[in-house]
Structure 1
Amino acid sequence: MSDTWRVPGYTEVDVLGTGGFGRVVLAKHEASGQLTAIKYLQPDLLADARIVDGFRREAWLLSGVRSPHVVRLFDFVETPHGAALVMEAVPGVSLRALLATENVLAPESALAILKGSLLGLAGAHAAGVVHRDYKPGNVLVSREGESKLVDFGLATLAGHSGLTAGSPSYMAPEQWSGQPGRPATDVYAATCVFYESITGHRPFEADTTQELRSMHERAPVPLDTVPEALRPLIARGMAKDPAWRPSTADAFVTELETVARKAYGRNWEKRGWKRLATSVAALTALTPLALLTGAGTAAAPVAAGAVAAGVPATGTGTGVTAVIIGKIAAAIVVVGALVTGGILIFGNKSDPPPPAPLTVAVKTLAGQEQALPLKYDLQYPEVAGGADPAARQRINAALRAPIDKRLKTIRDAVANPDWSPRFTETAETAVARSTARVLLQTPTLLSVRYDHDLDSSVLSHTTWRFPETVNVDLVTGQVLGPKDMFRPEVLTATGMRTLTQLLEPHTRNGFCRTPAVTGVGRKVTIDAADRTSGGEHVPGAAIGFTAAGAEFEILWYDLGCDTASGKETVTLPYAEIGNLLLPRFLASLGQTGSSTPSSAPSTAPPSTPSSSVPASGETTYTNQRFGFSAHVPAGYVATPYTPEKGDGMTFTNADLDATLTVWGANTGGQRTSETLAGVVARAEAAGGKVTYRKDEGDHYSVSGYLSDGKIFYERGYPGSKSKAVLRWVYPREHKAELDAPVSASLDTFRPGDVSQPH
């Protein structure tokens, strides 16, 4: 790599700063006249693959961030002779330079700067990027009254480790121990900088690095010099445990604005920037970019620690700024096709590094309340990796929610005036424990069970100890409820009776009866609507999923039994519950289908005509996407069927060599007669024989023999935008025993809305 290599198409104007990894220059793009900041990697570092990879990674990460509060990357250029980042040039000064001049900022001004840089962090966090080096030198304060985040040299993807280096004065406890980056790590550093801005000194100062580490990890935050109204904000942002900080910068902004409005009024932000205006303008006027875009003609020295062009400067200008080049074009020009011949150009449209696979680890939240007689040791799972940072954030929020709720509930109980005197009298400290266990993890689903326990003679009732489950879609981050698991016809009074009958043989003593003063109380069911409090027709139990089946965590006292009945875990094998679950949910569990035993009660609607009432054990298959439904006989195994532009299910009975296939597809537009003619033509072209056909206006029916001699029968509902089709295929020798099931499925086939695509 040559010391004289420059990005082609640019003329260097001034040196903005130098550092261990390279230097930053102000440069003019020759074709457009736009001023940019170019960060060059040091020539002698090109041979170090780790450093070059880190330089590329900075470009990858920065290119994925879209925020007006983050300096923009235009291009990454790498050749055999050098590597460089071409970035936005922004007139402004670093917060470090501002603090060197002002020492202490007014609270409103510090809050305004913090808010803007937090919004920059929020943009990074939304893209899955953790900055990991938030410090005053990396916060740019512009003369337009905004703050921007710069220098992503130590950034990493959330949940991943990067370089362990950072700025010790602002490093969070978990960063000292080399843990993977997380948004809460950036929140800690930003709070440290905010503390410094309003007090004039850093929160922790020591003579050695080891002492500094110890203070960040264990020492309480010194809040005596902090305005009282801001102490809760700083205490929360600098909590030792990242779980007690705001989970993202965006969440911290919300808390900041609430505190600022309460303490300083509605116009706090406007006043804060107004107070900064004079100092920022004076310092910015001395930067190379300001000199080049202003009316002056003489060069002036750059203030120590100033920033021009969105990158930290550690040196001064070279004097070339005495030549005035002209004003920057109003529109931002994204530089493209800069050079030719052997040069790799990476811009905002390039692909980021491939995401790491999603992994799950069990974390522990442990501690002791200072003001309450309460200790806690609570487990919860946390995921890392994955392709979608936003989904990962939703997943982790869902997995952490039961623990946060549990801790709040017990805190409130211990502090309750009815119970707190008893804790004082007995000198008891309650101990809350929760264990978390991953029941099942597939590529698209995570099922977790929490067991909550409490050691306390004051809060001794059995209802303080119970299991809880959470099921999360790993693609979207959505928490799944009964409507995401069960077929619609199951979430009815009839369907819940069916589920109760399936569960009862697996319980220890059957479903109990409600307590009664005289006589015998009613028998409880799994239906939540049957409880005293009422509700929807959904299972009145937490449900988790394992490789073997569905685990129902039944709290008998919650269903209406006496409290001595306790609780029970009941596992229902997929062979029994499978046909009650939605096909797509069943697939997410890693199950392809199930057969329903002949003893299982029917969920068929009572309005089915008597000539078509399915035999005991039959169920209804409903396709949620296309909205059609059909009855399926007992003993048929389901497997997904995916035609072009559609989906459906095939049900097979191996003993009878019979298949029932039901599907929908977005291939509408033909009249019924045209669709029927097409079915006939395809059957005959394949060597089959059609013996019956009928156009019935909104649907058609056709049957005959396939080339192998099997009988086929098809009924279809073609519409203007989509269609729904049911098709049977079975051997002639089983015709007599299949006539009734075939007729029942045909008579109860409901096509859904075929006038719309799905």
Structure 2
Amino acid sequence: MNQWRVPGYSEVEVLGTGGFGRVVLAKHEATGQLVAIKYLLAEFLGDPGIVANFRREALLLHGVRSPHVAQVHDFVERPEGAALVMEAVPGVSLRVLLAAEKKLAPESALAILKGSLLGLAAAHAVGVVHRDYKPGNVLVSQAGESKLVDFGLATLDGQAGLAAGSPSYMAPEQWSGLPGLPATDVYAATCVFFQCITGHKPFDAGTTEELRALHQAAPVPLGAVPEPVRPLVARGMAKDPAQRPPTADAFVAELEATARAVYGPDWESRGWKRLAAPVAALTALTPLALLATAGTAAAPVAAVASAPAGAGIAAATIGKVVVGVLVTALVAVGGFLVYQQFDDDPPRQAALSVDLTSTTGRDPALPITYDLQYPRVSGHADPAAEQRINAALRAPVDERLDSVRRALADPEAVARVRSQGETIGVRTTATIMLRTETLLSVRYDHALDSDYLSHSSWRFPEGLNVDLGSGRVLGPADIFRGDVLTASGMAALTERLVTHSARGFCHLAEVGGPGPLASIDSAETAAGGDHVPVADVVFTPAGMDFLVRYADLGCTEADGQETITLPYQEIEDLLSPSMLTMLGRPASSSSAAPSSAASSSAALDGKVYTNARFGFSLQVPEDYQRRPYAPSGGDGMEFTDSPLGATMTVWGENNTAGLSTADALAAAIRAVQAQGGQVTAQRVEGEQYTISGYTGDRIFYERGFVGRGSRATLHWDYPRVNKEELDAAVSRTVKTLEPGDLSRPH
């Protein structure tokens, strides 16, 4: 297959492929220097969220300067592709080393840990949290040093990112999607150190949920750890991040003190000496062995994309000033972007800061005092936008105070309050629930000190979401996909809210007893209106909070209020692509309209397989072999990767037996058990079921959609030993499966 390459470089060999990119060893044609180039896979070039994250990784890495972090030389982005040009390190990943050695001597493990911790410390010093420290992201070089690579999940210190990472090494707070902290990286590094000296991971489980529970609540199995380093492991893996060393620097200090006391002053040199032979032997088996003779001098002056034909640009000989002019010209003429060498820092925008402020006082004419808290931004590049943002953030507290003033507009009401000797206290507390580069989500909790206005309805939460770029307040049309703001879309949203309601949601008030279950749809209430939620929403690191006042849904005042949280994995398919981008979450195909059926019964349009008969579609893995699959009365396709022993089958069939989703799940379980397999996870949600587990030494994963007229099913089967290589492909296909019209037979 033809693949785009960074101009000026010739590819030597592929070093590896992951979920979003592939890494190759390449030679700069002008200088002969070897570098590693990380290419974003072509299938993701059309996803602005993923491309933005790839670009962000380059910028974050640019800010981290350390001999213990693999350096980025260039970032190149064109319509045909995007790539990071990086330092090539002659060595192997810690993952490969552990696969060969099983476990390491404590001094060697400590030496590797120290180097990578120093890399983390350099990142922490500029406010960057790695969030995906694992053996595969630590390189052990022949020169006797360890380097940190791959900042694809990194965030700025204190900012939330995706609740993502490598589950075996994720800190308790990371499982909850909380903001990244340097202590989060310390936890992951300690987990890897545990694995190095024991030969196994600290926690192991059959399902992700079990693994989450172990990391969040189970005691660290210190019995497997050599006694002299147990206190180090206990500190680094403390459940509470406040009980861990606060930064990688602090952890290095503790590590060195322990190592010197236990293993002597020459512990580090002995540790690296023991690693020399296995690292050299493993490196010799890889293309990186070429670096031993080619050298690892600084990368060429620029990895500048070639100019239009005939320009004859010799990028390696151009000075900084000329390169800067050249890059500007190429952007204007060629329509692509090049970051040259990062020798000069890009101009920095003024930092936007958000602070909480209060307005307090006493009303001059009414018996009212107020203490109202609200956020305020400063340092915006656009003064007009800053003014709009601050006006929007102040509006809820002003409206709150005005509503109490209106309640006392009647002179008799004022006289009654004064006769009781009461002064009504109006209070609002603001909480910043989530801040991203372009979004500020705020919750206001309105309280009231009053016997006169004593009803609970005077005390309620309110949510506000503001676009930090334009200053615009985001409404339902900005937050949700268009098809969600319909009667059926609101019904689906109501079902999800009911599932997560701790109160059991509420039933409409009717004479003689409770009526039917209420709906979150405004159009279903007595007040009527558009198909939008009858609740404010705010965003948190873990999910989306719906601030529900049940009386607004048509229930009784006695039903009260509730904050219902939907985790992102259960709500993001309802959010608009622009909202997902603001949240920093890649938009999946489920956040866009389903693609139309192809003209043939089994079309492969690019990397999307669409079945015309049943109307389902999904992304398929690159380079898999395919052949038709035809179950009784159905139609589909089978995709295989022979080297990995993986098979993905997707098909549609008519629901002639009238099965429910639960019926289909039960049948799938019986089929697995009949083959001697073990089911480790199962779930039913609406028309969708999921089942996964093991059959011998193989993993299976199945997702099915069941409607009145037809069904669509995706089934994966692959060896356990290849789980890590296949996880990304499985996840991607599952997320992109669009089931088509299940309401009728085909």
Based on CA coordinates, which of the two structures has the bigger radius of gyration?
Answer: 1
Question: What TM-score do you get using the length of structure 2 for normalisation?
Answer: 0.43
